[in-house]
Structures are given as structure tokens and as C-alpha cells.
Amino acid sequence: METRARAPGKIILSGEHAVVHGATAVAASIDLYTDVLIRSSTSSGTDDGLVELQLKDMGLVFSWPVQRIKETLPELGTALSPSFFLSESMKSIATLVEEQNIPEAKIGLFGGVSAFLFLYTSIQGFKPATVVITSDLPMGSGLGSSAAFCVALSAALLAYSGEKIIHGKPSGIDNTVSTFGNMIMFRLGELTRITSNMPLRMLITNTKVGRNTKALVAGVSERASRHPDAMAAVFSAVDSISKELSSIIQSPASDELSITENEEKLEELMEMNQGLLQSMGVSHSSIEAVLRTTLKYKLASKLTGAGGGGCVLTLLPALLADAVVDKVIAELESCGFQCLVTAIGGKGLEISSSCNSSTCHPSGEI
Ligand SMILES: Nc1ncnc2c1ncn2[C@@H]1O[C@H](COP(=O)(O)OP(=O)(O)O)[C@@H](O)[C@H]1O
Ligand SMILES: C[C@@](O)(CCOP(=O)(O)O)CC(=O)O
Ligand SMILES: [Mg+2]
């Protein structure tokens, strides 16, 4: 039996980091996806064979004998809630991942491969299968590759536990937007869907500076515990920015004048959000270089995702000439950055199953 799922990446229009601390944030899906293909045998409960994980884009294959997983992680694959076992299973999962000798240059995959083993064993139990992953998303760049990976892989509620392994303390915004798509406002686990009433064109610039979401999120929490009152004020300012941004996006804007007015307000809010992210300590010289370049063209930008490198968003006003967009992109690319123009607010998680045996029942199975 073969099952496929795909889930999109995201941009955060406002509120990253502050959302971990209870502030509102606004995010939208983008049309870059992570695809998961699971090829499994329809005969259940066999201890023979391998669980194989193929990371196609990187040309890497990891595999474990089912029996080895069963003896190392006996607690997963039981009827009790798998998240109950998450902390005590982490050491055993680390042992199984260490045995794979991930190349040093790709050691960031440790979290992803660990999340895979946790989600796979929790959902499938001890069954052999081949899992093939392909992705359009740059990894570790702020476009939510970790959430798209977890959402597509588990296609259900266990995704949140997978993100905990990769992020440490996720707000849940990335999983939510990857699951539902479109555009959302998110606060403390609660989502409100947003329908945009204005065209929203965004340029995404990948600084290609690698960083780790878990470390950046932990750094903001440490700063918050050193300066609780000052940081509470920063998070509260971000909360107000996200609420205002979401109401502008939803407000009726029928003519060119009102669209331009709304765009100017959004630009100002993006600049304010960027300033607050800088005060949280998550900006980076590469991000500042992108901001300086886009400002030369009077365009407003902010980092998106965890920062520390990764991707930067630039609002492209509806009336901005294509020739100007081409010039900005050329200048950014000449600095070694990579530019993407992507549609915003597409579909969320999609799943499809097929099997060529008359005895298989694909409904609800992964
Ligand atoms: N396609 C994938 N295959 C394996 N692991 C992945 C994949 N996509 C993401 N990951 C895991 O997620 C990590 C990146 O997540 P993170 O630092 O949160 O950045 P982002 O979510 O912005 O891309 C990777 O280092 C890896 O552990
Ligand atoms: C920084 C944060 O707000 C978003 C992280 O996004 P990404 O992993 O950088 O794509 C963390 C979170 O919300 O869990
Ligand atoms: Mg992530």
C-alpha cells in the first residue's frame, strides 16, 4: 500500500517568538511543500524487515531493523498516548539515531530523524515500511520546513509532539498553518481564520545563513527571564501589531487608493515588528544587509520565522513596477542571497492513499 501526504511551508507575517510567549501572530501558507510517501506491506504485525527513511533531496538513506526498534522503544506502539512517553523515549530514540552516523555537515537532521522515529513508531507500531521524503522547502531558513515535515508525516495530532523534538518549545503556529493552509491569526493554541481583502505580494529572500530554531527560541526565553518586565512589554507590543495587521488585511479595500493606504500601514507594522525582533536578539547581520538593500527601493522588510539568518519577507506593493522587482532581486542575488516569489495562502495538508491489493483498507491508515 502507498500513502502520500503533502503539507506546505509558511511565512509569519508578524509575531514570531512573541507567539511562544502568548502574543498573537499572523501566518500564511506558501506554495512550497514537503511530500511524504509511505510504502508499507498490507500484512500487519510482522517483526521482520526494515523501517527505511529516504531523504531524496539529500541523497541520504537511514534504516533500522523493526526488531531493533521494538527492543529499544517497547513503550511506543502501545495503546497509551505516545506523548506520555515522549520524554522517557528521547534517550532511546537518540541511541537509534546515533547508530546511523549522520554526516557531521548534516547533523541538523538529528532532530528531524528523531521526530521521524517517534512519529512513525507511535502511529505505525513495529511494522516495516519505506518512507520517502522530498521537499521544496529550504531547511532551517524560517519557512517552517520542520512543521511541514511533521504535519505531512503524521498527518494528524501527533505532529505537535514531533515539533517539540525539533523546536523545544513550539507555539504550534507552524503546524497549524501547515495543516489548514490559507492565512491564520494564532494565539495560545487558538486559531482564527483570516480572509485577505487585499492583494498580498511578498518577496522571500533566503540569506542562506544556517541557524537553529530551538537555540533561538531558547535564547529569547532566557532574555525574557533576565528582563521579565521589559520583555513582557515587547511581547505585548507584538501582540498589538499582529492584531492591527490582521484587521488591515481583512478590511475592505476596493480602490487603488485604499489598497495603497493599507500597504503603507502594513509596511510600518512590519518595520516595527522587525525592530522588536531585533530587541529580542534574533536579527543577524545578513538580515540587516537585506533590510538595507530593500530600503534603497523604499520597500519594507522583516525577518520571518526564527531569525538568526534564514529568510526575510519584503512587501511588494500592488502598483510596484515589475522592473523594480527585477532590480531588487538582481541586487539581492548579487550579494549571494536567494530570492523566491511565492503564492501565499494556498491549501493546507493533503493526503491520498492507493493500494493494489483487494484486501487492503486505506481509509484512515497512514
Ligand atoms: N525534509 C526533511 N527531512 C528531514 N528532516 C527535516 C526535513 N525538514 C525539516 N527537517 C528537520 O527540521 C530542522 C529544521 O527546522 P527549523 O530549525 O525549525 O527550521 P525551519 O522549520 O524554519 O526550516 C532540520 O534541521 C531537520 O532536523
Ligand atoms: C520562532 C517561532 O515563532 C517560529 C519558528 O519558525 P521556523 O522554525 O524558523 O520556521 C517559534 C514557534 O512559534 O514555535
Ligand atoms: Mg521550524
Q: So what's the ipTM on this one? A: 0.96
> Distance from the CA of 329 to the center of ligand 1, in angstroms?
26
What integer pLDDT is reported at residue 160 of this predicted model? 59
Q: Which amino acid is at 291?
A: L
Sort strands 50-55 and 129-135 into parallel, antiparallel or unpaired: parallel
Name the percent of the chain lying above pLDDT 90: 67
Per the DSSP assignment, residues forming a β-bridge with 325 are: none
> Length of the chain in residues, anyone?
366
Which ligand does the CA of 173 lie closest to?
2
> Distance from the CA of 247 to the center of ligand 1, in angstroms?
32
- State if pTM tops 0.90: no
pLDDT tops 50 at residue 364: no
What integer pLDDT is reported at residue 309 of this predicted model? 97
The answer to whether residues 127 and 365 touch, using CB atoms and an 8 Å cutoff, is: no
Annotated catalytic residues are 174
Q: Is 55 a pocket residue for ligand 1 (Cβ < 6 Å)?
A: yes
The answer to whether residues 362 and 39 touch, using CB atoms and an 8 Å cutoff, is: no
Reported as type and span, the H/E element at residue 312 is strand 311-316
Closest to 27 measured CA to CA, from 16, 11, 50, 7:
11
Give per-residue pLDDT as tens, 57-109: 999 999 999 999 999 988 876 655 566 567 778 899 999 999 999 999 999 99
Per the DSSP assignment, residues forming a β-bridge with 193 are: 184
pLDDT tops 70 at residue 156: no
CA distance 74 to 202: 47
Per the DSSP assignment, residues forming a β-bridge with 12 are: 27
Closest atom of ligand 1 to 305 CA is 22
Give per-residue pLDDT as tens, 190-215: 889 999 888 889 999 999 999 999 99
Closest atom of ligand 1 to 57 CA is 1
**Ligand 2: which residue has its CA nearest to atom 13?**
171
Task: Give the torsion sign (CA, 273, 276, 278, 280).
Answer: negative
CA distance 177 to 143: 11
